[in-house]
Each structure stands twice: as C-alpha cells, then as structure tokens.
Structure 1
Amino acid sequence: MRESHTEGATAPPFATAITMGDPAGIGPEIICRAVAAMTEETRRQTLLVGDPAIFRRAAAMIEAPLALIPWSPGDVLPDQGVAVAAVEVPAGSEIPDGRISAAAGDMAFRCVERAVQLVQARHAGVIVTAPLNKAALHAAGHDYDGHTGMLASLTGALSSFMLLASETLSTLHVSTHVSLRDAIDRVTPERIIATVEAGHAHLKALGLAQPRIAVAGLNPHCGEGGIFGDEDERCIAPAVEALREAGFDVQGPISADTVFYRASRGEFDLVVAQYHDQGHIPVKLIAFDTTVNVSLGLPIQRTSVDHGTAFDIAWQGRADATNLGSALAYAQRLVAGGMV
C-alpha cells in the first residue's frame, strides 16, 4: 500500500475522480470498461466515486476482474486495483435499471457533490463525469440544468461555460441548457466577451501561444444588415471589436452556415457558438464518439462524456466506453499541463 500525501503535495494522489453518473444508466458499465482497459499505473491514479456494490455488479456483468478497493481521505493508497470513494444507495431505496427515478437522480447528485469535495481538498485532480439524467435529477429535488450548472453551484462559481472539444472541431457556448427564446436574450456583448476570454485562457493553458477564435453569428447570414435581426450588429460585432482591441485573435460574427466548416479545415482553433444546438450539432456530426465535454470558468477542472444515460441499452453489457476514454485522456492532458 502507498502512503497518502495530500497536505502540501505538489499534485493530488489521484489524477482523476470518476463519478458514477445515474446508476440506472450506462455509467457504471462504461466506467468499468474504461478502468479495465487502463494500465495498472493509470488505475492507481484513478478514483471512482459511487456505490461499490453497483460498480461490482457492472464489473461482473462485463466479466472484468477489477479489484475495487474502498478508500477514504487519510487511508493509504492501494498499490493495485482501483480505489472507490463510497457514495452508497440508502437502505431501502430501489433503483430500477434503465428507468428514471428520484433515487437514481439523488445518487448522481451525491456522487458529483462528493467528487467536488475531494478535488477541492486536493485528493484528486480532475473530475470526470459519467452521464446523468436531468429528469431524474429534478425528481430528486436537484433543479440544475445538468452537470455544468450543478458544478457552478457546488463550487460557488458565478458562471461556467461548456466546451465541446475534439481533434477536428471545438466549440464553446454562450448559452446551453435554456430555451431558444431565452438563448437569444443571452446574446449580449458582456456574455460573448466572457465566453471568448474563458476559451482563450483554456487554450493558452493547453499550450497554444495565440488561440485563433471565431464567433458565430446568431441570425441567418449574420442578419444581412438587419434584415433578419439586429443582434449580430448590435451585440456580437461590438464584442468582437472590443476583444480585438484587447489583443485577442478573434473574428466575427461569421455566418454559422460556414464558420464550422472553416474551423474544421484548420482556420480556427475554437468557435464560439451562440446557443446549444448551434455548437453541438456540428461537433457531434464530425466527432460523435470522441468529443469531450469540458467545463470552463470553474475553480476546478472537469471533463465528461458527451452522451446521455442510454437507458435503452443500460445494464445489458452493450455500452461503448470510447467516449469516456476520450474524456479521461483529456483529463490526463489537463493534469500533465499543470492545470490542477
């Protein structure tokens, strides 16, 4: 067993803390698949956060001989196997497979809450989240728009931004889980500037000396001089001009029907999308299995899969862990870059 050194350490003992997600979904299965594929050294640097019994069931289902070792702060670190910070299903609670339930939603929340506490205490470096179900989350009384809003609340962040990162195309969003009508109201110079600044800082930390950022327009053809709406001229253009005057390599507004193509061809490192589907659709079309969801603007680092709980195939041994592998690889990149 290894001694756990957390106070005054240069790096947390665990590089990543993987939350279980909604236990009725595919989260436990893809986590066990990903961990089983790790080297022993990487496994020792990985902490699972969730119910050990559920992880054991998932490991048995996929016939993965994983040694799951209970761990709490202050314990020695396991030399072999994978450590589990236990967040257990309350006695008497039932979580039906592949179905929405308040019990599952509460478990998903408590796992994220525990992971935040562990990262804030420097026991782990980056949170990697398996998918949760928003309806289950709300049924449990946790009224968040998803992981991003939840993490902002748990960490006291004033705002956060959703980055979808892939090798071909990356997008950062001015707004995400709000109605399209509300998303239009969020297209303000202040919000656009904050979004670009967050993306620029993240890319700089990853090693890009001068990130090239494009800002997508909101209206068709950026409004055609106000014929199809004035938000592009009234809100987006002034924000871009202010950013350029501040030294950012940013262009926009650029019509959304061309900007993602141009970025995918290498012209830009990042596209700032004005709302959820504007940014999600092109990235998922190009790199559905490998896109990573990254939260920016938080005092902690978090990556995630970019898919849902897949209740239709949950607990059938059919889930693919490729996307979780990409999220874990991005988390390791953040650790290696000294961002934790």
Structure 2
Amino acid sequence: MLLGAEMRTSRQEIQNYFQLIFGVKPEIKRWAKSKGLPFYLLDEYAFDVVTLHGCQCLVLLAHEPFENAAKIRKHIDILKKIVDPPILYATGALQSFERKRLIEAGVQFVVPGNQLFAPQLGLDLREFYRSRQAEKTVLSPASQAVLIATLNRGWEENDTFRGTDLVDADLYSKMTISRAMKELHSFGLIEPVSSSKSILWRFVAAPKAIWEKSLPVLQSPVKRVVYADWQPVAQRVAGLSALSRLSLLGEPSIPVIAFTKESWDLEVARSGRAEVDPFDKPVVEVEIWSYSPDHITGQTRIPMSPESVDPLSLYLSLRNNVDDRVQLSLDEMMEKIEW
C-alpha cells in the first residue's frame, strides 16, 4: 500500500507530464489569490495556475491521498465563485473506483504519468495509457533497437538523457525517437526527470534490471529467413553462427548472417541473383531483421564483435529455439555479460 507522501504529486511532475503529452512545456505559477483562502482549503491543497497553448486552469495539488469525491466537489464549487479558469484536482495515485467517483462528481483531475480527465479543456485521456498498453504488448522495432543499443552501452545510476542522445542521428528521425521515448515510458522503463527546451529522461533501474524487466515486451528481431547461393559482400554474422563464437556450440552447416529488408533488397539487386530454396544447397542463411544489425555505434560496456550482431539481440533471436544445446549456449553467453 502506498503511503500518503508517495501519493502526492508536485509542480515538476505535472509540468513534465503535460509536456510529455502535448509536446509543449506549460507555464506553472503559484496562484497569487491563494493567500486569502480559508485555512481548511490551504490545509488540503497547494494552488498553481497552469498555462498551456494560451489556456489556463487552476490546479489543486492535494496534500493527502484521495478520500472523498463529494468533499472535493464542494471545495471546487467554493473556488468557482472566485475563479474563472477550469479547476483540476491533482494527486499522485488513484484507484479505479476513486476515478469513477471523481468522474461521477464532475471533478476534473490529473494523475501525472498516468491519467488526465479534463473535458472543460477538451481533454479526456482517462483511457489514453491504458488503451495504448492494451493494444501494444511489445515494443516497436525502433524502440527496441534504441533500448538494446543503450543496454549494450550501459549507463550510470544518476545519468539523464534526451532521446537524441541514445542513437545515431542518421538511424532515426526525431519523431521516431520521440515515439520511442514515449513507448519506453509507457512500459515503465524510463521516467521524465526535468526539462528545459526538451524533456530529460532517466532509466528507472540499472541496466541488468531494465533488461530483465523489458524481456516480456521484447521480441525477436528476425522477421523472416531466406537463403542465397552466393556470398553477400556486406554481412554481419547472426543466429547459430554468432552464438557458436560466444559459446561451446558448434558451427552450423550453413552460415547465418543478418540484413534489414532494405539492405537485403539492395544486395539482391547488386548481385543480380535470386533467393533459393533451403534444399537447393544454399551458401548462406539470411535473417531479415526488423531493425538494423548495425544499430549500435561507439563504445559498449557489453563486449561486441565487429563481425557479429549484438549479444542481446542475438539472445532474443534464439530464445524460443527448442534445442537444449542452444538454450545452454545462450545461458553460457548471458552469464559472461558483466552489466
């Protein structure tokens, strides 16, 4: 059970949450008229005025956990006699039945990082995060690539970053990176900390803990497998070939390499050849990846071979393999990682 102090919220959390949703940092100031309010209201709330896109609202930051929707409604009715802008109740956490009571009482509210119900502002995002997580059970390929690259590089406990700090600017657009940050946040892997012109983030735990927490929403980067009877010019060792270099597993009879669809299409066009059937004595097995096998640049904390795919993506590509020898080799590879 959360303690009362943990269920409070702050001006900074509200500012970060509004910026995350609307892409614009709102202006927040203490409400000048709050000094003249009755003591029982001052005991219940702190009062801020939030300005966003030229619209204002008065935010009541609750000092204590939610108790009574009718009482909050009564307080808002009193404030409406002296306040023109819409009024928004703010707290750190709400249970589903508490949300229902507030909505039934006509109380607009915000729970930073989770929910916003403000029909007077044209906003009803009660289901925003819930529905997005219900529809999206795994990270998108771009978000996964950003996370995997960052896990391979590692970070320190107090490190903060912008989305653009995590990836090579040539790999993804700013819009894609922004979406990736929102996805990582929606799955509870990162959190906003402070902001100036652009929002700053931090991971909620150390790299190994984030890896373990993210495993249920990570998927194999391999979209499909094709075969070729020629040796491609550019390639990165993948699959069982890569695993054999990191464990006692023997080399597969047909070498495995990785390409993206776009890079493989270019290779096929360059060679003037066509893919072959796996029974037609292929030279290589080609994994078509959903993100680039070359997505990691710069120094990494987890050792990486320049000829092979990164070990975390490799693990994801093989973790559903039913061969016990492969599973033992994956365990061997992962045990060698010093996070």
> Structures share a fold, TM > 0.5?
no
> Taking structure 2 as the reference length, what is the TM-score of the superposition?
0.23
Tell me which of the two structures has the higher relative contact order, counting C-alpha pairs closer than 8 angstroms and 6 or more residues apart. Answer: 1
> Taking structure 1 as the reference length, what is the TM-score of the superposition?
0.23
Higher Cα radius of gyration: 2
